[in-house]
Amino acid sequence: MGVTQVALLVERPTEGGNAMGVPSKRRTSRSSGRRARWLAVTAAALSVTVLAAACGAGDDDAGESFVDAPAMTMAAASEDMSMAADMDEAAEIQLTQEEGLETGRRALGGAAAEADMSDDSGSDALAAGVPNVPADLGREIIYTAWIAVETADVAAAAAQANSIIQELGGFTFSQDTRTQVRAHTTLTFKVRPEQFFTALARLSRVGELVEQTVNSEDVTDIVVDLSSRISTAEISVKRLRGFLSQATDVEGVAELERELANRETSLERLRGQLRSLQDRVDLATITLSITESVEAVPPTSVILRAWLALGEEDPCLGFTDLPAPPDSEVGFCIELENDGETALAEVSLSSNTLRFSNDDLTLGDGTSLDRIEPGERAVATLYETVEDGRIAGRVATRGLEIDVRFSAVAVTASGEELARLARVESLHLFVTEDETPASFGDALSGGSNALVAVGNGVLLVIGALLPFLPVIAIALVVAWWWLRRRRARQAVAAGTSDET
C-alpha cells in the first residue's frame, strides 16, 4: 500500500516548457528539487507506516493495536500531505508568475500576427483591431458578450440570429420575447471560443447596433488549483479506502466511514466546480437583445377655438359665455389652426349637446375639412334658434354647457397614418326670462291652469281613498247603528222617569 502511494506522489505530472514546447533550464532544476523533497517526505511517511504496522503485529491484542496503527498512519499521512501541499503551492505560485511573464511576452508578439481581419470582422464599431479567432496562449479563458440592436422586424432578426449561430456550430441557450408596446426579444447563444468573434461580427449586423460589451476572464489559476485539490482529494480517498478494507474494529470502521464520506463529498463538490468552470471555458456566451425600432414622429398639434354670439353679430367676434333672450338666434363659430408639422386628415367637428356634424356647418372661403396642411386655418359657423327657452331641444333657462368636439388623423405626405388627435372646447349659454307685463289672455290662461291643478288634486285624493271605501262604509254603518241604539236607550230611560 505504501509503495503504491509513493508511485502516485512521485509521478505527479508537472507543467513545463516554454511557448515552443522546449523545457526551460530554470524550471527543470526546480522540478528536480521538488521531486527530491517529495522522495524524502514520502520515505519518511513509509518508514512511519512500516514501524506502526510492526508494532501492531507484535501486540497480543490485535484489534486494539490496529486501531492505534491507522490513527498514527492517518495523522502522519495528513501531516505529509499538508507539507507537500504547502511545498507544491509555493512551487506553483513561482511557476505561475514565470508563466505569466512569458505569456505576456508571447501575447505582445503574437497579437499582431493573429490580427487577420476577414470579411466577417463585423461593423466598424465592432471589430476595430479585434481578431476573429482568440489567440491560443495555453490559458483557460471565459468569453462573454452583450449585444443590443434595433430593427423594424424583431421576429425576422431573431430568426436570422438563430440561423447564424447554427451555421457556426453553436446553439440557442434561451429566448425571452415581449410583444407589448415595443416588441423585444433577448436570446442567449453558446458557441465555441474560436467562433466567438465571428459570431459577434455577424450578430451585430442583424439590426442597427446600439450597444456592445465584450468580456474575457482568465480562470487558469482557478482550474489549476481545482485540479490540484481534486488530485489530492482522490489520493486521500483512495488511502482511506485502503485503511477501511483492513480495519476490523467496529469503532475504527465507523470513524473511517464517516471520514471517507466527508472526503468523497468534498471531492464530488470540487469535481462539480471544475466541470462547471470547464463548460464556461469550452463554450462562449453571447447575449443578443433585439428591440423594435420606432421612427421619430413629427410633432402634431392643433388649436381649437369656439365662440357664440347673437344672430345679428359675427359669431367669430363673440364670447365663450353668452346670455340670450328666450326667442332669438344664436351663432356659433369654430376655428381650427394646424400648428404642427404634419397634415391633418379626416377632420370631424361635432357636439353632443347641439347634435351637429360636418354637414350642418358652413365653411369659410377657402376652408376644407378634408385636409388641413401645416400652418393652415379652417373656420366653420352654425346658427341655432332659441324657442321657449330651449335650443336644439335642450332647456337653457338655467344655463347650458355646450361642447364642441374635434378629431383628426395626422398623416405623412404619402397618407400614412401617424397619430390621432382630439380636442374639446366648452361654451356656456344662458337664456334670460321674459320680463313683459302679463295680458288678459295670460291671466285667463293662468286661472284655467290653476283650476286644472285643483281638479287634479281632488282626483288624486279620490284615487287614493278608493281602496278604503268598503272599510269606510262598514265604519259608517256601525256608527249609525250605535247612535240609533243609544237614542233608543235614552228614549226608554226618559219614559221610565216620566212614569215615576
Q: What is the pLDDT of residues 139-153, one digit of tens each?
A: 888 999 999 999 989
Q: Which residue in 392, 417, 412, 416 sits closest to 402, CA to CA?
A: 392
Residue 41 pLDDT > 50, yes or no? no
Report how far residue 450's alpha carbon sits from residue 167's, in angstroms, rounded to the nearest whole number.
98
Question: Is the pLDDT confidence value at 83 over 60?
Answer: no
User: Which domains are delineated in the chain?
Assistant: 1-114 (no CATH), 121-294 (no CATH), 303-431 (2.60.40.1530)
Per-residue pLDDT band at 167 (split at 50, 70, 90)? very high
What pLDDT score was predicted for residue 393?
A: 86
pLDDT at 66 over 50: no
φ, ψ dihedrals at 70, nearest 5°: -60, -35
Name the pLDDT band for 112 (thresholds 50, 70, 90): very low
- How many angstroms separate the Cα of 37 from the Cα of each of 17, 86, 233, 328, 365? 21, 12, 21, 121, 110
* Separation between Cα atoms, residue 146 and residue 49, nearest integer Å: 58
Contacting residues for 70 by C-beta, under 8 A, at least 6 apart: 243, 246, 247, 252, 256
For the stretch 186-237, pLDDT in tens is 999 999 999 999 999 999 999 999 999 999 888 888 888 888 999 998 998 8
Percent with pLDDT over 70 in the chain: 68
Average pLDDT across the chain, whole number: 74
More confident: 407 or 300: 407
CA distance 339 to 122: 45
Q: What would the grid cell of residue 241 be?
A: 479506502
User: What is the pLDDT, as a whole number, of residue 253?
Assistant: 85
* Longest CA pairwise span in the chain (Å): 172
Q: Which three cell numbers stand for residue 208?
A: 442597427
Task: Taking each helix axis as running N to C, give the angle between helix 196-203 and helix 154-167, from 0 to 180 degrees, rounded to the nearest 10.
Answer: 160
pTM of the predicted model as reported, rounded to 2 decimal places: 0.39
User: Is residue 1 very low, low, confident or very high in pLDDT (cuts 50, 70, 90)?
Assistant: very low
Does 417 have pLDDT greater than 60?
yes
pLDDT per residue over 384-414, tens digit each?
A: 999 888 898 888 888 889 999 999 999 988 8
Q: What is the average pLDDT across 101-118?
A: 37
Q: What is the pLDDT of residue 120?
A: 43
Instruction: Write down the H helix ranges in 345-468.
Output: 440-465
**The predicted structure's pLDDT at residue 332:** 93
What was the pLDDT predicted at 440? 63
* pLDDT at residue 286 tops 70: yes
Flag whether pLDDT at 443 surpasses 70.
no
CA angle 446, 452, 458 (to 5 degrees): 140
pLDDT top residue among 125 and 311: 311
